[in-house]
Amino acid sequence: MARRLIIQNRGRGGPTYTSPSHRFFGKIAYPAVKEPTYGEVMDIVNSVGHSSPLMIVELENGEMSLIPAVLGIKVGQRIALGSKKAENGNIMRLKDIPTGSLICNIESRPGDRGKFLRACGTSAQLVTKDTDKIIVKMPSKQKKEFNPNCLATVGVVAGSGRGARPLLKAGNAHHKRKARNKLFPIVKGVAMNACDHPHGGTHRRNLGRPTALKRSTPPGAKSGSIAARRMGRKKR
């Protein structure tokens, strides 16, 4: 009897493919503060589920918050929330940030507590300020509009050199992905046996037939280009 495919197991779920959020340090979110206040960086920590280092911020009212650390931040440094002074690490409304500033951890809409640009080394540039919208140049060079009341952190997310260090051996790559329940190594279907994958059972590394499938294909055979409109490389 054929075995269940990896894509079927992944769709079914279970502990093998579930994100181990119980091992993550915590959830990143801006504090729910309505008036300008100050906070102190108590510690800078690493989390399995986040690529960037995180800073633990304690507000004046005693509330604790977890925010991506910006480049140059230090333990014991005071940061302002909701102020109009654009300094590294301060959390401000987009309408109060000067044009040309580098920002990160931007809210998609006011009150969602940060959605964009939270990975290590990322930042965007505030380009244009209007009364009803703020235009930000994203790392992809595309320009995106935001609500002027959205929060953002002034600065660049720390940890930009994380990918520069080589893994050197497969064991390191295995443990790196194991921490997030990611499959490693990823084996091509044509390298498997016929009982393990619909593309398996061949003695070559190219399938030799089209992989386009109908949308109504049964789950056990759904591997390849599902309901593809076209195949192959486009001609220039």
| SS3 label, residue 27 | coil
Q: Which two tokens stand for residue 211?
A: 């992989």
Number of domains comprising the chain: 2
Beta partners for residue 40, in sequence order: 58, 78
Q: Are residues 43 and 141 in the same domain?
A: yes
CB proximity list for 144: less than 8 A, separation 6 or greater: 135, 136, 138
CATH of the domain at 194: 4.10.950.10
Whether 106 and 189 share a structural domain: no
Is the pLDDT reported for residue 1 higher than 60? no
Same domain, 221 and 117: no
pLDDT at res. 2: 62
More confident residue, 3 or 78: 78
Residue 231 located in a structural domain: no
Q: pLDDT averaged over the chain?
A: 90
Query: Is 90 exceeded by the pLDDT of residue 235?
Result: no
In-domain check, residue 138: yes
Instruction: Note down the domain range covering 87.
Output: 26-162
